[in-house]
Amino acid sequence: MNEILGLDHICATSKNIRSFSKNSKLFNYDVYFIEKNFLVDDKKNDILFGKNISHDALFLKNLKNTSIELIEHHQENDENTGPYNVIYESPSLDNIGSNVLNDNETTKYLSKIFNSNIHNFFDKQTNLSFFWKNSHMDLGLTTIILETKNLENSINFWTKNFNFKILDSLKISSCKLLQLNSPVKSWNTTLLLIENLDKKIETLFLNSKGWTCLSFIVKNIDSFLSEINNSDFSFIGNPYEIKIGGKNLKLVFLRGPEQQLLELVEIKQNHD
């Protein structure tokens, strides 16, 4: 898909957004914008659980790696958790948040995959879980993690529709690393697919807990939608335009074959 320019950001359901300011430091990122009581467009109803009139949004910018949009929904879905998780790389956890160590079997598995000690933390400030890998530089969010019921089908979906390339650096057959390369450094990303034959396929929502949606920047949404095979997606929403963070954007939400939420973002010219 030539329309894909890169991964703009990952969305996550968060708490306490109104307590943050432009000077706040979360995950050692800079606050790019804060929107409070942002009205929810009706075209988002299909990807939200319940009736949501408005929400608060906090966009965290990183010039090295994937940016983060934290959303505090005024009606949340506490019944399930978003399908994604992340690996954050830095020399230490200083200035990242109020974290509680929460290592588990997944932590051991990831440590084996990357041949490096990886730990799982829960940040009480944002109500988010993330994996942390020690590195000599503050790299930020470097890897998106997604479990899949069928690894081969999932590889085909991401390489065919979103320009990911397979990395052959892993020797474990139940997982695969994919790389998305972009001319903009912060739009590059690595996606770790982990096969889990027992994974339950369920409909998840933007206001589910945790890391909920991947947002890709595209040249033209209409061109992208005209090129895809609709059968690759379990849901394709209707595009709409908004102004947020001072930018005019065209957006559309989709669901992948395993119900994972995806967003396409097209930057429109400002006419103000």
pLDDT above 90: residue 168: no
Q: In this predicted structure, what is the pLDDT of residue 100?
A: 78
In 3D space, the residue among 243, 270, 223 whose CA is nearest the CA of residue 5 turns out to be: 223
In 3D space, the residue among 26, 30, 31 whose CA is nearest the CA of residue 99 turns out to be: 26
Instruction: Report whether 141 contacts 62 (CB < 8 A).
Output: yes
| Angstrom distance (rounded) from CA 188 to CA 129 | 22
In 3D space, the residue among 208, 196, 198, 197 whose CA is nearest the CA of residue 260 turns out to be: 208
pLDDT tier at 271 (50, 70, 90 boundaries)?
Answer: low
Residues in a beta bridge with 69: 11, 59
Residues in a beta bridge with 81: 209
Percent with pLDDT over 70 in the chain: 97
pLDDT, tens digit (0-9, with 9 covering 90-100), for 85-105: 999 998 887 766 667 788 888
**Average pLDDT for 49-73:** 90
Percent with pLDDT over 90 in the chain: 61
User: Would you state the structure tokens that stand for residue 215, as one six-digit string?
Assistant: 């947002």
pLDDT above 60: residue 36: yes
pLDDT, tens digit (0-9, with 9 covering 90-100), for 10-25: 999 998 888 887 777 7
Q: In this predicted structure, what is the pLDDT of residue 238?
A: 94
pLDDT above 90: residue 269: no
What is this structure's pTM?
0.94
Strand intervals (E) in the chain = 4-13, 25-26, 29-39, 54-61, 67-73, 77-81, 84-90, 99-101, 118-123, 128-134, 140-148, 165-167, 175-180, 189-195, 208-218, 235-236, 240-244, 247-255, 261-267
| Angstrom distance (rounded) from CA 38 to CA 53 | 8
| Angstrom distance (rounded) from CA 226 to CA 104 | 43
Q: In this predicted structure, what is the pLDDT of residue 158?
A: 97
| Angstrom distance (rounded) from CA 7 to CA 59 | 14
First to last CA, the chain: 32
| Angstrom distance (rounded) from CA 7 to CA 217 | 6
pLDDT tier at 56 (50, 70, 90 boundaries)?
Answer: very high
In 3D space, the residue among 150, 240, 242, 133 whose CA is nearest the CA of residue 190 turns out to be: 133
| 204: exposed, middle or buried (Cβ count in 10 Å: 0-12, 13-18, 19+) | buried
pLDDT, tens digit (0-9, with 9 covering 90-100), for 106-140: 899 999 999 999 999 988 888 889 999 999 988 88
pLDDT tier at 1 (50, 70, 90 boundaries)?
Answer: low
User: Would you state the structure tokens that stand for residue 204, as one six-digit string?
Assistant: 């998840």
The torsion angles phi and psi of 160, rounded to 5 degrees, stand at -75, -40
**165-173: long-range contacts at Cβ-Cβ below 8 A with a sequence spacing of 24 or more?**
170/113, 172/112, 172/113
What average pLDDT does the structure give for the chain?
A: 90
pLDDT, tens digit (0-9, with 9 covering 90-100), for 177-224: 999 999 999 999 999 999 999 999 999 899 999 999 999 999 999 999
Instruction: Report whether 208 contacts 13 (CB < 8 A).
Output: yes
Q: In this predicted structure, what is the pLDDT of residue 97?
A: 61
| Angstrom distance (rounded) from CA 111 to CA 106 | 8
pLDDT tier at 76 (50, 70, 90 boundaries)?
Answer: confident
